[in-house]
């Protein structure tokens, strides 16, 4: 009886795992094939294993600059988000001021709005200011979504630190900046990691704003990937290789923050 249940559970989980990983497997599989093989036959493993697709991406500037552009604005966005969210989260967690709950909720509502709503105002504003097609433009646009999230996550972690630690530090004679950077920040470093991770994830996969606000100089990889249709048809293999490379940074970041995320769940946020 027990054994049978165990077997069913195992089967179910294996089935689920297969279901979840199949698309990723298929993409990785395709990235090592030639276009011909993809279109002509159904093969579970590449028959003519090739790295040519990856070579194309790493040598063609129009491809690899897409990755560089994306990484630049994602990094700028992460740095600004955390730098802005830290003091805001500290204020929300430590002080009570008029309308604090409302402001906190209003911040979160920004996160609930679809990015498309902000598209037109951003486009108009950036055209006027001459910010179109720059990395900072995309980074700034993404702040609307990432700062509220970062504030929310960080506030949760900060509220888990007893206020008495702050007070003890003031009693001992710490100045605020010194306390914040030498005592407080080390205590919430996992929160900073989790917040940075979520900023990264949003900014990295966001397509609409990133594509609309850039054209050539700051064109992100997600946007580059949409132009693989050419006169000679679809370049499936290179597209698959590009897709595989898009997953990698996220996987690396998740690997680094995996313990912190578990902690974030335990602390009631994330």
Which residues are at the interface with other proteins (CB under 8 A)?
162, 164-165, 167-175, 183, 186-187
| Cβ closest to other proteins, residue 170 vs residue 265 | 170
Closest distance to other proteins from the beta carbon of 244 (Å): 39
Closest distance to other proteins from the beta carbon of 174 (Å): 6
| Cβ closest to other proteins, residue 1 vs residue 171 | 171
| Cβ closest to other proteins, residue 167 vs residue 217 | 167
Cα–Cα dist 197/172, whole Å: 34
Closest distance to other proteins from the beta carbon of 255 (Å): 24
DSSP assigned state of 234: E
Closest distance to other proteins from the beta carbon of 135 (Å): 35
Cα–Cα dist 46/81, whole Å: 42
Place of tokens 């990698």: 248
Rounded (5°) CA angle 229-210-246: 65
| Cβ closest to other proteins, residue 183 vs residue 261 | 183
Could you tell me how far CA 103 lies from the centroid of its own chain? 25
Asked if 135 contacts 73 with a C-beta cutoff of 8 angstroms, the reply is yes
| Cβ closest to other proteins, residue 3 vs residue 172 | 172
Closest distance to other proteins from the beta carbon of 153 (Å): 20
* Pairing mode of beta strands 229-230, 233-234: antiparallel
């Amino acid at each position: 009886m027990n054994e049978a249940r165990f077997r069913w559970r195992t089967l179910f989980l294996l089935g689920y795992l297969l279901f979840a990983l199949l698309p990723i497997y298929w993409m990785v599989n395709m990235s090592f094939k030639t276009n011909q093989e993809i279109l002509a036959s159904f093969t579970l493993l590449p028959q003519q294993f090739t790295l040519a697709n990856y070579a194309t991406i790493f040598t063609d500037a129009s491809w690899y600059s897409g990755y560089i552009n994306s990484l630049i604005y994602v990094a700028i966005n992460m740095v600004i988000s955390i730098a802005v969210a830290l003091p805001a989260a500290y204020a929300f967690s430590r002080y009570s001021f008029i309308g604090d709950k409302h402001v906190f909720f209003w911040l979160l509502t920004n996160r609930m709005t679809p990015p498309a709503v902000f598209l037109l105002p951003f486009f108009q504003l950036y055209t006027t200011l001459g910010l179109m097609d720059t990395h900072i433009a995309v980074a700034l646009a993404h702040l609307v979504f990432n700062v509220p999230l970062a504030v929310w996550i960080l506030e949760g972690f900060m509220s888990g630190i007893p206020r008495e630690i702050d007070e003890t530090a003031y009693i001992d004679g710490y100045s605020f900046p010194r306390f914040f950077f030498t005592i407080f920040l080390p205590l919430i470093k996992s929160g900073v990691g989790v917040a940075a991770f979520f900023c990264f994830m949003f900014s990295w996969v966001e397509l609409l704003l990133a594509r609309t606000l850039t054209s050539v100089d700051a064109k992100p990889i997600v946007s580059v990937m949409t132009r693989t249709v050419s006169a000679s048809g679809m370049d499936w293999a290179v597209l698959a290789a590009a897709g595989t490379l898009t997953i990698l940074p996220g996987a690396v970041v998740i690997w680094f923050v995996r313990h912190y995320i578990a902690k974030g769940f335990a602390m009631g946020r994330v």
